[in-house]
């Protein structure tokens, strides 16, 4: 039996008040939901996951630039976590190429990770940046 997959429902409750962060996160949620549904259907996700890793790399770089420019106090653990996730994504892509489905990753681990990361490290980072007067144009 295939476990029901998690669907992240996008709503204003997920907004963090920094334009590029919210825009990237909304895009990530759409992709995560789409990949979970495809995984349940047994589809090959190599191309989607490769594109999603690129999305993450670019998004993480934007967050890290904001952290550096605002003098965020926890830039190291937040950046380390980004690097860990990119390495994990590389491992998943390798498994997909080898023919594994990685179903649990797409239906549980990845949606759960997104929600936790948004609610902790990204939340604190965005809050700090806004307090420091960060604007989209900065
Ligand atoms: Fe983020
Ligand atoms: Fe982040």
- DSSP conformation letters of 57-105: HHHHHHHHHHHHHHT-TTHHHHHHHHHHHHHHHHHHHHHHHTT---HHI
Cα 109 to ligand 1 centre (Å)? 16
Which class would CATH give 26-131? mainly alpha
Q: Could you identify the residue written with the tokens 């990685």?
A: 102
Cα 120 to ligand 1 centre (Å)? 10
Three-class SS state of 125 = helix
Percent of the chain past pLDDT 70, that is, above it, reads 94
Averaged pLDDT for residues 20-40: 97
Q: Evaluate whether 131 touches 60 at the Cβ level (below 8 Å).
A: no
* Cα angle, residue 133 at apex, residues 131 and 138 outer, rounded to 5°: 140
Extents of the domains making up the chain: 26-131
Question: What confidence score (pLDDT) does residue 1 get?
Answer: 44
- pLDDT tens per residue across span 117-129: 999 999 999 999 9
Cα 121 to ligand 1 centre (Å)? 8
Cα 22 to ligand 1 centre (Å)? 8
Torsion of CA 56, 60, 118, 48, to 10 degrees: 0
Between 1 and 73, whose confidence is greater?
Answer: 73
Whether the per-residue pLDDT at 3 is higher than 90: the answer is no
């Amino acid at each position: 039996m295939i476990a029901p997959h998690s669907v992240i429902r996008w709503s204003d409750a997920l907004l963090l008040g920094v334009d590029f962060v919210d825009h990237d996160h909304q895009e990530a949620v759409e992709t995560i939901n789409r990949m979970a549904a495809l995984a349940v259907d047994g589809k090959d996700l190599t191309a989607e996951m490769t594109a999603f890793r690129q999305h993450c790399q670019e998004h993480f770089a934007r967050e890290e630039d904001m952290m550096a420019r605002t003098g965020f106090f926890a830039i190291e653990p937040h950046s380390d976590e980004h690097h860990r996730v990119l390495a994990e994504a590389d491992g998943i892509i390798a498994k997909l190429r080898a023919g594994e489905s990685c179903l649990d990753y797409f239906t549980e681990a990845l949606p759960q990770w997104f929600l936790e990361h948004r609610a902790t490290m990204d939340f604190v980072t965005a809050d700090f940046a806004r307090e420091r007067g960060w604007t989209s144009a900065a």
